[in-house]
Structure formats: C-alpha cells, structure tokens
C-alpha cells in the first residue's frame, strides 16, 4: 500500500511505500520534468568502524565503508558503470560519515536504470583479486585528498573538535588501514549493514510510483535480512579535543576553519537545531552582517567567507571558514560577537527577514529534481518527515532563537589553520 504524505505549506505530496523486505521507498513525482533521479542509501558510513552483531564486537579498518562502496560497482560479468552507460544514465556513489549512497539520473529508461541500481547494490561480489586491485586506486585517492589544503583544513578541524567520535577520522581511511581490508571484511560489513530494513530508496522527477514498487519487489524480495548491527557508542566528551591545529601547505594565503562544538542531538531536534543555528549564523556572521562588513573593511576577511552548521549522527558544531592573515583574530572576534548578542539580542525584524530567506531557499529545493531527491534522502536518514525542514522553518520563532543563542558556549571552540609555506 502506498501512503500519501501531503504538505499544505508547499502543496506537495510525497509517496511512501514499505517493501515486503523492509526497505522504505519515498517518491515525489514532478509533472513537467523529463529527468528523474534515484538514490539508494545504506545507513553505514565511515563512523561505523566498531559495531556489535548480537554479543560479538566487530572492529574494522578505517575506510572500510568507502572501500565497500567502490567494490559494489563490480560484478562477475560486467561493472555497473558499463550497464548504466548502455542506458544513457549518469551514475555515481558517495560515502559520508554516517551513510553510503548509490544514485543515478536519467532522461529515459528509468525502470531499467532502477533495476541496475538495486541489482548491483544487492549482489556483492568480492574476490581477493578485485579487492587487491582497488587498493592502489583508493590509496592514490587518499594521497590526493591529503595534498588538498581545502580538505585538510576541514579534517584537521574534525580532529581538533572530536576526541572519541570516529567522525574525526578520514572517510577513506589511511593507506595503512586499507591494507588490512579483505574480501571477508567487506562481506562482514555488507551482511551487517546492507540489510533491506537498514536501507532506503528515494526517487523524484519523471517517475511512475507503481513501476518503482514493481521493480523494488522484484529486485529486493530475495534479500535475506541478516542480523542487524549496532554501532558502538562514541562517548564523546563535551569539550573540544584541541583548541588549535596548524599545518603548513602551499597556499597563497592562510585558510582556516572554526568549529563551535555542541552536544549531539537526534531526529527532529537535530533538524530544528540545524535550522535555528543556520538562521542565527546568517544573522550575525553572514554576508550582510555587521560583523562581516567590519572584518572586510579592516582587511581581516575577504570574499572567501562562509558560515554553516555541520551535523550528523553524534556530531554537531557551528562552523566558519575563510582566508585571513589573522585567523585567530577572526575566532576571537566571533567569540566577542556571540557575547555581545547574548547581552544585546539581534532584532526580531532581522530574524524574520533571515527566516523568510531560509524558508525561501528550502521551498526552492522542491523545484529541482536532484534537490528534491536530496531533501527526501536527508529527511529519511534523520528519520523525520520529508517536509520536516520546511515545516519547522515556517514555525520557527524569535524567542526560541534567543534560547539557542544563550545556549552557545563560545569558549568550547577549535580552529584549524593552513599556513603558507
């Protein structure tokens, strides 16, 4: 049975179907579009490097989730990229800290492409030979990212903010850690996390819901639900791990990233905090803020400046990123700005203006096929309604924003700096 989830604010309907094997499917047909996107996601990411299955504790090499993503594209006969090329679809995959996602976009042959997607993810094929072949490729990828200043400033910040949570470790692992990955390692992780009930499918655009249900029942019905894995607790301390990290690399100007650590929140509370803190950051540190204008006029910041919220399973911090010859001064100025606004709150008029802009950007995501699919996947991953972000933004109020502001510990912060050689 297909369930309809209607949102009265943006007048959209998302369709939900639960397969007989347990996989949840979310669909949003979009009239007038010729393209379609599908994303098949497993709740298994780089953070899951220690987990239990029953009474057995399993510890795996860092980078295993990313390695598994690479290897699932191969089969005994033909790799998935070749199959998608024959239908004219564009396909790829990505591993994050708390999930792995496989996806495609196409202008036609959607049913065939969906069969390919569900087929190769549901049929693992790992051998000593093909696992070994991938080791050098991923090793080069690891080296490439470690030579990228923009990536290193971010990963160094994660190491500074967190001391226990595996989010502090590189998604791809290290050359040393991936050397320990075997076919059995991949099969163990696949059986533990690629359970039908631990995966979900989202699709948007020019799609036929009945056709999607038919393909899902056909391709996923034979899946055997294995014992579900439980990720080990992170037991992350409240305080940041280190206040500052420095690294010298070939950059024209020092770059930096700042993180104000917050306790982790989950489900709807995570989405709510994400929205409020994004609004707050935009209000007091965004491109039109007094803070940014002052820092630009004084030559401390330039156009390379952004603020955001970094959140996921077990991690949440307020982030700022930019270029500056005085990055530590930027951090101290942000702390002073937080303290100032705690005593002298920003105006309600400013809140309403930024709230409307935030709401508008969320609504705008529902007029683009890929954005719609991303929005659905993000909501399902957090186990909330597909329209949760829009609904919470529409209901956001000024008094709650001030509570979020007062709850910030501006001293619980880290800064990662990439200096010039």
List helix spans (H) across 3-124: 64-71, 80-87, 110-122
User: Is residue 236 one of the residues assigned to a domain?
Assistant: no
Same domain, 214 and 308: no
DSSP one-letter string for 337-405: HHHHHHHSPPPHHHHHHHHHHHHHHHHHGGGSHHHHHHHHHHHHHTTS-TTHHHHHHHH--HHHHHHHH
User: Is residue 111 one of the residues assigned to a domain?
Assistant: yes
232 token code pair: 């080990």
Same domain, 85 and 218: yes
CATH number at residue 170: 3.30.830.10
Q: Which ranges of the chain have pLDDT less than 70?
A: 77, 222-227
| DSSP code of residue 410 | T
* Rounded Cα gap, residues 136 and 33, in angstroms: 41
pLDDT digits (tens, 9 = 90+) for 155-166: 999 999 999 999
Same domain, 177 and 49: yes
Same domain, 71 and 118: yes
Chosen domain end from 231, 253, 285:
231
Residue 123 · residue 178 · CB < 8 Å: no
Q: How many domains does the chain have?
A: 2
Same domain, 185 and 285: no
Q: Nearest CA to 366 among 17, 12, 25? A: 12
User: Is residue 389 one of the residues assigned to a domain?
Assistant: yes
Same domain, 23 and 157: yes
- Cross-sheet strand order for the sheet of 24-29: 3-7, 12-18, 24-29, 199-205, 36-42, 100-106, 90-95
* Rounded Cα gap, residues 25 and 297, in angstroms: 51
3-state secondary structure at position 288: coil
3-state secondary structure at position 223: coil
pLDDT in the model for residue 302: 97
Helix, strand and coil percent figures for the chain, each rounded to 5: 45, 20, 35
Q: Please report where in the chains the tokens 């920003």 appear, as a residue.
A: 346
pLDDT in the model for residue 83: 92
User: Is residue 238 one of the residues assigned to a domain?
Assistant: no
29 token code pair: 């047909």
Q: What is the pTM of this model?
A: 0.94
pLDDT in the model for residue 223: 54
User: Is residue 254 one of the residues assigned to a domain?
Assistant: yes
408 token code pair: 């910030």
Same domain, 155 and 259: no
Which residue range forms the structural domain that includes residue 188?
3-231
Residue 84 · residue 112 · CB < 8 Å: no
Chosen domain end from 231, 259, 293:
231
Chosen domain end from 186, 206, 231:
231
Same domain, 295 and 190: no
* Rounded Cα gap, residues 137 and 179, in angstroms: 12
Active site residues: 69
* Rounded Cα gap, residues 345 and 339, in angstroms: 10
Same domain, 28 and 80: yes
Same domain, 18 and 50: yes
Same domain, 166 and 256: no
Report CA Rg, the chain: 23
Q: Please report where in the chains the tokens 């990505």 appear, as a residue.
A: 94
User: Is residue 386 one of the residues assigned to a domain?
Assistant: yes
User: Is residue 239 one of the residues assigned to a domain?
Assistant: no
Strand partners, 306: 321
Strand partners, 24: 18, 200
Q: Which residues contact 146 (CB under 8 A, 6 or more apart)?
A: 152, 170
User: Is residue 58 one of the residues assigned to a domain?
Assistant: yes
Same domain, 265 and 363: yes
């Amino acid at each position: 049975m297909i369930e309809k989830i209607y949102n009265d604010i943006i007048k959209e309907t998302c369709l939900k179907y639960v397969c007989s094997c347990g996989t949840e499917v979310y669909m949003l047909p979009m009239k007038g579009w010729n393209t379609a996107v599908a994303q098949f996601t497993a709740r298994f990411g780089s953070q899951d490097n220690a987990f239990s299955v029953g009474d057995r504790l399993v510890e795996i090499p860092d980078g295993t989730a990313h390695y598994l993503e690479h290897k699932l594209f191969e089969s005994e006969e033909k790799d998935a990229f070749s199959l998608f090329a024959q239908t004219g679809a564009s396909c790829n995959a990505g591993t994050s800290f708390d999930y792995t996602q496989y996806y495609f976009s196409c202008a036609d042959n959607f049913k065939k492409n969906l069969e390919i997607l569900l087929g190769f993810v549901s049929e693992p094929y790992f051998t000593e030979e093909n696992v070994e072949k991938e080791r050098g490729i991923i090793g080069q990828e690891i080296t490439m990212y470690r030579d990228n200043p923009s990536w290193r400033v971010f990963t160094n910040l994660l190491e500074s903010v967190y001391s226990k949570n595996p989010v502090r470790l590189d998604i791809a692992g290290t050359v040393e850690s991936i050397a320990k990955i075997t076919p059995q390692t991949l099969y163990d992780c696949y059986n533990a996390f690629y359970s039908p009930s631990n995966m979900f499918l989202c699709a948007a655009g020019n799609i036929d819901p009945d056709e999607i249900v038919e393909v899902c029942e056909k391709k996923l019905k034979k899946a055997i639900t294995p014992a579900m894995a439980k990720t080990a607790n992170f037991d992350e301390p409240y305080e940041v791990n280190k206040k500052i990290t420095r690294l010298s690399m070939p950059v024209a100007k020092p770059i930096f990233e700042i993180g104000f650590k917050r306790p982790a929140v989950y489900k709807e509370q995570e989405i709510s905090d994400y929205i409020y803190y994004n609004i707050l950051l935009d209000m007091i540190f965004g491109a039109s803020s007094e803070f940014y204008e002052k820092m630009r006029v004084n030559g401390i910041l330039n156009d390379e400046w952004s603020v955001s919220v970094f959140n996921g399973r077990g991690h949440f911090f307020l982030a700022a990123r930019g270029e500056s010859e005085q990055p530590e001064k930027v951090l101290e100025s942000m702390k002073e700005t937080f303290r100032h606004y705690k005593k002298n709150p920003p105006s309600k008029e400013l809140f309403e203006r930024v709230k409307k802009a935030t709401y508008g950007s969320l609504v705008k995501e529902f007029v683009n096929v890929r954005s719609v699919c991303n929005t659905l996947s993000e909501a399902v991953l957090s186990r909330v309604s597909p329209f949760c972000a829009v609904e919470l933004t529409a209901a956001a109020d000024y008094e709650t924003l001030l509570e979020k502001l007062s709850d910030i510990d501006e001293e619980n912060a880290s800064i990662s700096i990439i200096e010039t050689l």
